Chains A and B, each alone.
Chain A
Amino acid sequence: MSLTAISKRKNTKARIISGFMYSLCVIFTGFILSLLLWVVGYLIKIGWQSVTVAFFTQVQIPYGAEGYPGGMLNGLLGTLVLVGMAAVVGIPIGMLAGIFLSEYGANSKLSSPVRFVADVLAGVPSIVVGILGYELLVVPIGNYNGWAGALTLAFIMVPIVARTTEEMLRLVPHSYREASIALGATKARTILRVVVPSAAGSLITGVMLALARVAGETAPLLFTALGSRLLTVNPNQPFPSLTKQIYDYATGPYEAQKRMAWAGILVLISLIFVFNLSVRLIARSKHGTA
């Protein structure tokens, strides 16, 4: 047994390395945050300088015509309609699959492959999904159209909605189900009247996140909806969207259109921010009461 007492703080090699790595973690975090804040700050600043009333009220006006550059009303409306159509198809399918995974999954051989495939599908590059839409809905029809765009977005939504629905329903205490069954309710009634309503808040936020995600998608629309400079809601024709219009403006030659693109980015980012923040707040209030 050594009789030395505790030594004073000293700098051995291990301690110097530890201090170095500690500072490195702090520096890396600071670097990442400043880089990302630079990016987002720049986008917000330029977007704010570029956004006009016309952005929200006018459609695209070509270079040389009176009123150029107009606004992005056609793109905004187009994205709204596309995402709405995608939601009508994608949310029910996704939620049904999610309910299956959570409520029926325990004694079904189907559940683990479905869960796995949903996870993997959520990670498929969206441009690949766009190509599927092109092959199935554009080539046979013969022209670019809104249906193809909307269904491609629906395809992207399904796995996201399915997995969030499953996770949210799993958070519903098992006692709710037992109580309902014990009162003589059928399984369907229990699910539709007890389980789903008690998770309604978190289901809505999950769906909102999925909507925000597809609203920001560009790649899958490049060769499905294609984009249009008209204010149209006819899904048989090429269909406008905010993101595609931003892309065209950003890569095009005209300065005024580039400013419109920056304003469009600001609108997109604000949308994402509001959705993310509300999800956080709802999640926290759940935590608080649970």
Chain B
Amino acid sequence: MGSDAVLGFFVRFGAVTVLVMMASLVFVLFRGSLDSMKTFGPKFLVSSTWRPNDLEVTKRTSDGKIVRDADGDPVMETIPAKFGALPAIYGTAVSSIVALTLAVPLSLGAALFLIRIAPRLRPRLPNGWRVPIDMWISFLIEFLAAIPSIAYGMWGLFVLVPYMQSHLEPGLNWIFGHVPGLGFMHADALTGRDMLTGSLVLAIMIVPIITAVSRDVLRAVPQAQIEGSLALGATWWQSCFEMLRYSRSGLFGAVMLGLARAAGETMAISMVIGNIPNIKATPFAAAQTMSSLLANEVSEASTKLHTSSLLQVALILLLMSLAFNIVARKLIVGKGGGVRG
């Protein structure tokens, strides 16, 4: 066997391993969730009860009276453990969407700044060198995108949470309490570790990623498109709008990447969101996301059904992130055109 055949075998082995990894991920999570799927069926997705342990309660008749035995003591009955993922799914959806709503306009503004404003703002030093501000900002943004989530989590826990609790949230809460129609968002107690803080930390974390990807997408817009609109008398913004329109699918891809990151983000959010399976209208209530639920409970799950339910949550999270990533890749690569040499 020649060296060609050996190398050919090894590289194919590497390539197939990638496929096997993906398959095993899906297979293992699916197999592990079977128990939970059989027990709860589709109700798993819409039930909001998450009770890992059996519960002993007094038995009651249908009209609410306590059933007593011959000695007059209440008769006890056991309610089995029950799992429903709705609060976690809700928490992931709401926190990601709020984070995107905050991050996308900021990121697109910054990406336009990097492409359409910063390259022309290169101040000249006395010795004739020009300061490439746009490159510095780009480097900073990429560096910020690479900072581990635990760092953002610690900042969130020790800086943002106290600030939210003592400054921002009391003000917002007062507004919710006094403006008619917003009362449903009013909360009685403020802890700072809640849905709002979690969403803010997520927003801060995804801004660098969305900015960096949208900058690359906007850079690929042909100069002819920009000049074409300017030559017809478009204003600065109208020509920027033309760029955004031209690259809209790539930008949507950038947003989807941000969404995938937000939905899968674990450490930072589990440190600031409070981790209680709530579905509440107020943004000041503790909540839970699928990833924070997993981070908190997998190592403590004691029953088979509990583990299986957690695996099903992981499966849902996996499928969600696969969907976001697939859409994002299709859009970004599809638009990029001549990526292949």
Contact surface of A with B, Cβ cutoff 8 Å? 14-15, 17-22, 24-29, 31-33, 35-36, 39-40, 42-43, 92-101, 103-104, 110-111, 113-114, 116-121, 123-132, 134-136, 144, 155, 158-159, 162, 170, 174, 186-189, 191-192, 209, 212-213, 216-219, 222-223, 226, 243, 246-247, 250-251, 258, 261-262, 265, 268-269, 272-273, 275-277, 280
Contacts and interface: CB of A to CB of B under 8 A. Distances in A.
A186 B109 contact: no
B109 A28 contact: yes
12 contacts: A14-B235, A20-B237, A43-B154, A100-B12, A114-B18, A131-B298, A132-B28, A159-B18, A218-B267, A219-B267, A247-B150, A269-B147
A258 B153 CA distance: 13
Given A42-B155, A247-B150, A250-B271, A120 B3 contact: no
A157 B13 CA distance: 16
Interface string B298-341: 11000000000011001001100110111011000000000001
Interface stretch (B54-62, B67-75, B257-265): B257-265
B110 A218 contact: no
Given A29-B137, A36-B207, A128 B329 contact: no
Contacts of B21: 121, 155, 158-159
Contact of A100 (B14, B318, B322): B14
B232 interface: no
Contacts of A275: 146
A276 B142 contact: yes
B322 A120 contact: yes
A134 B105 contact: no
A57 B321 CA distance: 41
Contacts of B317: 125, 127-128
Interface string B113-141: 11011000000000000000000010110
A219 B295 contact: yes
Given A100-B11, A127-B291, A162-B14, A39 B146 contact: no
B64 interface: no
Given A123-B324, A216-B150, A219-B149, 19 more contacts: A14-B235, A14-B238, A28-B106, A39-B204, A40-B147, A42-B159, A43-B151, A93-B14, A97-B15, A121-B25, A128-B25, A158-B18, A188-B4, A192-B7, A216-B151, A219-B295, A222-B295, A250-B271, A265-B154
Given A33-B137, A120-B326, A96 B149 contact: no
Contacts of B146: 209, 212-213, 272, 275-276
A286 B84 CA distance: 54
A156 to B, nearest CB: 10
Interface in B1-57: 2-4, 6-8, 10-19, 21-22, 24-25, 28-29, 32
A223 B116 CA distance: 46
B19 A117 contact: yes
Given A128-B318, A268-B151, A117 B240 contact: no
A29 B264 contact: no
A22 B11 contact: no
Nearest to A214: B148
Contact of A218 (B2, B14, B109, B148): B148
Interface of B: 2-4, 6-8, 10-19, 21-22, 24-25, 28-29, 32, 105-107, 109-110, 112-114, 116-117, 137, 139-140, 142-144, 146-155, 157-159, 204, 207-208, 211, 235-238, 240, 257, 260-261, 263-267, 271, 291, 294-295, 298-299, 310-311, 314, 317-318, 321-322, 324-326, 328-329, 341
A32 B211 contact: yes
A247 B267 contact: yes
Contacts of A29: 109-110, 113-114, 137
B115 to A, nearest CB: 10
Contact of A17 (B4, B211, B235): B235
A159 B263 CA distance: 20
Contacts of A117: 18-19, 22
The 10 A-B pairs at the shortest CB distance, nearest first, are namely A125-B264, A96-B14, A216-B148, A28-B109, A18-B235, A18-B237, A97-B14, A123-B325, A100-B11, A188-B7
A272 B208 CA distance: 15
Nearest to A265: B151
Given A110-B12, A120-B22, A212-B146, A223 B299 contact: yes
A216 B142 CA distance: 15
B150 A222 contact: no
A276 B154 contact: no
A285 B6 CA distance: 35
B310 to A, nearest CB: 8
Contacts of B326: 120
Contacts of A189: 3
Given A17-B235, A21-B240, A162 B152 contact: no
Contacts of A158: 17-18, 21
A250 B2 CA distance: 56
Contact of A272 (B25, B147, B153): B147
Which of B110, B207, B211, B271: most chain A CB closer than 10 A? B110
